[in-house]
Structure 1
């Protein structure tokens, strides 16, 4: 557990899973904005990552009021160097593990009070889970009962990888600095840590979901190539669910339920996300909406510098990962180039997260002879990119409320985005007052390069349309999405929670 900055007490303990301060953009930008904008509060960060090799360098300068930072890695290689012999383990270890496993598998009943408490993970510790005979007995009995046709080694490591992070997170919860509020920007493992902290220290647990974590993990698992396509037995029909994938989905269902049960409030960024939270079991009385906000003044000079010429550069700003569907964007630029000869497609964002997918995108560029049309720019300063482009696009299969669209709007850049997350609200409006502003771009279906290309050509080829969308974008972001509104709402939440804790 490397501790980079240490404090005895923080006002707000932020739980960051795979985001700030190691990854640029997206949720990380929002976290950085929150810490800097609420300088009257002291912050600590518990960072949760997969493997330490993936998070070598800080991607941000740490604000002065971020006074605690520690890291925990959930999927580091497990060393057995000092554990040559299996240990016996507590007498009721197998039954306790079975209770935990069954809860995550069924996610029907609430987690027992015993399993919510950190004392359980002290008594039956990580070492017992990894190395005891009773733990191995539990895994083998579950294997024989549920999926004997799956290779045992596949099942063994799946169960280990599903359960092991629970102990790592419980251990992290035992050693945090004192705090008044715990705030997680997602459910998932960060939400699990937040739920442990709430149930053991009795502090306020605020949950803000930028995307719907559970829905996104289901998409990731469905698309994954790292989970083999094993069936429960070979005689089942081809439509039978993949047992190993189902174990992962049930894990995330379970911890999502625990986070929703423990958090108050449960915040979403837009009405559609709140509706999904309710479908996944959130208590309606706990839910509220706080949309993203940006400093529009920061981007205003771009509109003055642009001049009359509309650039034929279309930029997709985001991580190069499958959920962003970069391949659809590449194909759309190929189609659009038949009508606009000098069109270019820029992919602006990190490429390291899924290198295999990045290489597939490069191969597609080569196959379509787009080496002179598609450019992977890596991470760039938003102001510099927005000053050069004529259109923003997102071809994602899942989104929350993309900050990049709001930042583009503040620079007067129209957007073309898929019909996911808050994109329709941002581009078309969210209510009667907002609808009156008019469209600030176009919404297209997912995985439809032809529709994307048609939208790019229509907007870039018609100056009147572009200008109208640009004006609407500026008006919408200044009316509904100013940074001060976001900061004031969280300032009020934090101040109220701290005051409650003192009384």
Structure 2
């Protein structure tokens, strides 16, 4: 579904999986700031979502240099061919069987050329043949008895269908993809798969920027998911063993990640530890590069000036109310804080509609801990009005890339307490170089899922004005010196120009 088409060929096409422009914050904010800041380029956005009903209205004022936007829903039943029983050439399904085996082996070898190209999914084996042919049914049934006989067949059947069918959908999206000089994906996954196919088939330079490491984040999601049936008997499993159906999903995303790394011209991470992790997952080291995020420090100067003389006893968790942000650990930490600082409050600032079930669980936990008058779910807010009213910013996430909210907090003069995920330790303690380390700490970093440790640090900082001021000063100095928005823009400007001018150099 084309939303914007100004009939101007975009210089850069961003493939956004589940983010911009339908979701606020995080990667979406990064995409919006990139497009808005690099006005000398025309951009297109190809949005990939699950089903249309999960997304509302566009959440951003679209920049003038966004010349193309389409929304594509790769899990939607509306896009499927109508069901019918059919027969097809068994050799076609043998190729699907080989593809399934490649994903199952987690992409340990390069994806064979026939599966790198759109025509395989559009012409050689159609989505209809994969979904409805007797031969496809036999392939799934045979592989079930060979590989997964201890799980219910219906669960195995739908897992195989749901893993593979979106690949056909992604391939079909390429039919209407606009011409572009560069394709840029902020993740591997389905967005990266489409970008990698475009690189292989159309020769379009492919830039990959990973904010978090997609395969690792999907593994966390999948291991903790209750939407994948886990019916194995307890005595059949070793402690910590992952259900076979979950292993299938994990292997699938690892395989896609390997294909993306093989295909990308540049593989960008936000901090050094992430670059090392990419290399450990198969990214060729010579392709990798670190480009930190940046924020418009000047936009937060007024918020800094509006800070009161006293430290507000308010801890603000700024992020989406979703499991990966581990809001429940924050709620538990606040119970400890309130017992010792009755005047304190916890504000949860971020969208609550992405995972309604999890939001409801958080509300129930808040009630169960008798915190309804102390924890506020504020939804999405203008952070420039929030920062002067809080004493600390916190993240209790179990996974992050380089969270912009930490940099924005520093720019607004607010210290941070986070879990030890992503680049948080580098941002709070310094780590880019010796000069950065010498600036000192701008807050504290805690273990994941440790409400006691978080609470101790919240209390320690809020009660010690001298310490708070020291952390504030370090945060301001660090963001102004190393994470300014213009530095971030210039890094991408130079990369885009390199490919547009044909130098193809990182």
TM-score by length of 2: 0.96
Tell me which residue corresponds to 2:214: 213
Task: Give the superposition deviation at 1:92.
Answer: 1.7
Look up the match of 2:486: 484
Shift of 1:241: 3.4
**Contact 2:348 2:375 survives alignment (8 Å):** yes
Query: Equivalents in 2 of 1:409, 1:241: separation in Å?
Result: 40
Q: Could you report, residue by residue, the CA deviation over 1:331-384 in whole angstroms, capped at 9, with x for unpaired residues?
A: 111101122221000001111111111111111110110011000000001101
Alignment partner of 1:177 is 2:178: yes
Q: CA RMSD in A?
A: 1.5
Q: In the superposition, relative to structure 1, how do residues 172 and 8 fare at CA in structure 2: closer, same or farther (>3 Å)?
A: farther
1:115 paired residue number: 115
* Residues 318 and 405 in structure 2, CA contact (< 8 A), matched pair in contact too: yes
Partner residue, 1:40: 40
User: SS where residue 358 of structure 1 aligns?
Assistant: helix
- Give, in whole Å, the separation in 2 of the partners of 1:339 and 1:472: 28
SS of alignment partner, residue 21 of structure 1 = coil
Contact 1:149 1:234 in 2 (8 A): no
Q: Matches of 1:440 and 1:324 in 2, distance apart? A: 21
1:242 corresponds to = 243
> Which stretch of the first structure deviates more once superposed, 385-394 or 119-128?
119-128
SS at match of 1:230: coil
Give the whole-Å Cα distance in 2 for the aligned partners of 1:69 and 1:98: 35
Q: In the alignment, is the contact (CA less than 8 A) between 1:16 and 1:47 conserved in 2?
A: yes
Q: Which residue of 2 aligns with 1:103?
A: 102
More off after superposition, 133-142 vs 482-491: 133-142
Contact persistence 1:22–1:57 (CA under 8 A): yes
Residue of structure 1 equivalent to 2:471:
469
> What secondary structure sits across from 1:10 in the alignment?
coil
Between 321-330 and 120-129, report the one with greater CA deviation: 120-129
The 5-angstrom pairing of residues 28-427 of structure 1 reads 28-77=28-77, 82-83=82-83, 85-106=84-105, 107-123=107-123, 124-231=125-232, 236-239=236-239, 240-427=241-428
Q: 1: distance between equivalents of 2:371 and 2:235?
A: 46
| Structure 1 position 236, deviation (Å) | 3.0
Shift of 1:264: 1.7
CA distance in 2 between partners of 1:80 and 1:210 (Å): 31
The correspondence for 1:436, drawn from 416, 438, 446, is 438
Q: How many Å separate the matches in 1 of 2:237 and 2:383?
A: 50
Which 10-residue stretch deviates more, 147-156 or 216-225?
A: 147-156
- Which residue pairs with 1:453 in the alignment? 455
Measure the CA separation in 2 of the matches of 1:353 and 1:28.
14
Task: Determine the C-alpha separation between the residues in 2 that align with 1:8 and 1:354.
Answer: 36
Question: How much does 1:90 deviate?
Answer: 3.5
1:79 CA drift (Å):
7.7
- Within 2, Cα distance between the matches of 1:301 and 1:351? 28
CA contact 2:16–2:48 (8 Å) conserved in 1: yes
| Corresponding residue number in structure 1 for 2:27 | 27
CA contact (8 A) 1:303 1:411 kept: yes
Q: Which moved more, 1:414-423 or 1:298-307?
A: 298-307
Asked if structure 1 preserves the Cα contact closer than 8 Å seen for 2:81 and 2:128, the reply is no
TM-score by length of 1: 0.97
1:234 and 1:438 map into 2 onto residues whose CA distance is: 49
Q: How far apart, in 2, do the equivalents of 1:213 and 1:418 lie?
A: 19
Secondary structure in 2 matching 1:266: strand
SS at match of 1:306: coil
Contact 2:8 2:67 in 1 (8 A): no
SS in 1 for 2:53: helix
Paired residues of 2:193 and 2:259 also in contact (CA < 8 A) = yes
- For the residue of structure 2 that corresponds to 1:4, the secondary structure is strand
Question: Would the aligned equivalents of 1:324 and 1:396 in 2 still touch at CA under 8 Å?
Answer: yes
The question of whether the paired residues in 2 share the 8 Å contact of 1:203 and 1:501 is answered with no
Q: For 1:413-469, what per-residue CA distance to the aligned partner results, in whole angstroms no more than 9, with x for missing partners? A: 000000111000000001211111010000111111111111011100011001111
Give the 3-state SS of the residue equivalent to 1:16 in structure 2. Answer: strand
Cα distance change, pair 252–391 in 1 and its aligned pair in 2 (3 A)? same
Q: CA shift at 1:238, angstroms?
A: 4.1
- C-alpha contact (below 8 Å) 1:187/1:256 kept by paired residues: yes
Secondary structure of the equivalent of 1:208? strand
CA contact (8 A) 1:265 1:288 kept: yes
Matched residue of 1:190: which SS?
Answer: helix
Deviates more, 1:8-17 or 1:448-457: 8-17
Provide the C-alpha distance between the structure 1 equivalents of 2:200 and 2:498, rounded to a whole number of angstroms.
20
Paired residues, number: 499
Which range moved further: 238-247 or 127-136? 238-247
1:188-232 deviations in whole A, cap 9, x for unaligned?
A: 11111110110011111000000111110000111111112133x
